[in-house]
Amino acid sequence: MSASVFGRAAEPVTIDIWSDVVCPFCYLGHALLSEAVDQFPHGSAVQVRYHSFQLNPAFPVGEAVLADDYLARNYGMPKAQIEGSHAQLAARGAQSGLDYRFESTQMINTLDAHRMIHLAKAHGQETAMVERLFKAEFTDGLNLADHTVLADLAASEGLDRAEAAKVLETGAYEKEIRADLAQAKQLGISGVPFFVFDNKRAISGAQPLETFRKALDVTWQDRATQPA
């Protein structure tokens, strides 16, 4: 039967996300968007694409320190301020099923973690890898600068551990990561998470669930008004 009987096949609604795995708001934003897509009547027609962003690209590769110690030392944040901020975010996260354990969260250079996301993308496991890295960072307290940890996490999501280890050893996907970073700069993205719907409208930050739902509705309505 000719496809023209039903008209042209609709392309998926694309949502491009710039995020970093050490960004607690990115974890929450990811969860909220996932909720919105699950509630969206056309959720099966949504494609989410992740792009690399580094909040702290100057942090020494391979090193790790407790995030709270890093915030106190580098930004002069009092302990009470840090704890208050964590408590508010943990409460919001709990509403979306997230278990933040900030006392064990580590600050690292995330370049190698982004390599694992690009590897997973090549095997159709992008979202699962992103979610696993977030959980590893904010719930499990794992050191995502450690190549053994990263290779194990990749294997836990069904990827080949030897391939993951080789990616880390050789510094693969550098071109793809740099392209993501360059595109973020071109778009003027200075903070994450940052969401772009169908290359038309953007949402910055872990906004309320209703904001993501509205963006999906409006994006779909835009599709409906476009000529076939």
pLDDT in tens, 35-71: 999 999 999 999 999 999 999 999 999 999 999 999 9
- pLDDT for position 2: 32
| Range 74-99 average pLDDT | 96
Does some domain include residue 21? yes
pLDDT for res 4: 32
228 found inside a domain:
no
| pLDDT tens, residue by residue, 174-192 | 999 999 999 999 999 999 9
Tell me what pLDDT residue 228 has. 56
Class of residue 175 by CB neighbours under 10 A (exposed 0-12, middle 13-18, buried 19+): exposed
Residue 226 domain-assigned (yes or no): no
**Which residues constitute the domain of residue 187?**
3-220
Task: Say how many domains are in the chain.
Answer: 1
The answer to whether 20 and 54 have CB atoms below 8 angstroms apart is yes
Report yes or no: 209 and 34 within 8 Å, Cβ to Cβ.
Answer: no
pLDDT value at residue 89: 97
Q: Indicate which CATH number applies to the domain containing 62.
A: 3.40.30.10
pTM (2 d.p.)? 0.93
Distance separating alpha carbons of residues 71 and 1, to the nearest angstrom? 62
Does some domain include residue 166? yes
Asked, as a colleague might, if the bond just before 193 is cis with ω within 30 of 0, I would say yes
Give the confidence band of 11 by pLDDT, cuts at 50, 70, 90. Answer: confident
Please report whether residue 15 resides in a domain.
yes
Mean pLDDT of the chain: 94
pLDDT in tens, 31-45: 999 999 999 999 999
Q: What pLDDT, on the 0 to 100 scale, is given for residue 3?
A: 33
SS3 14: strand
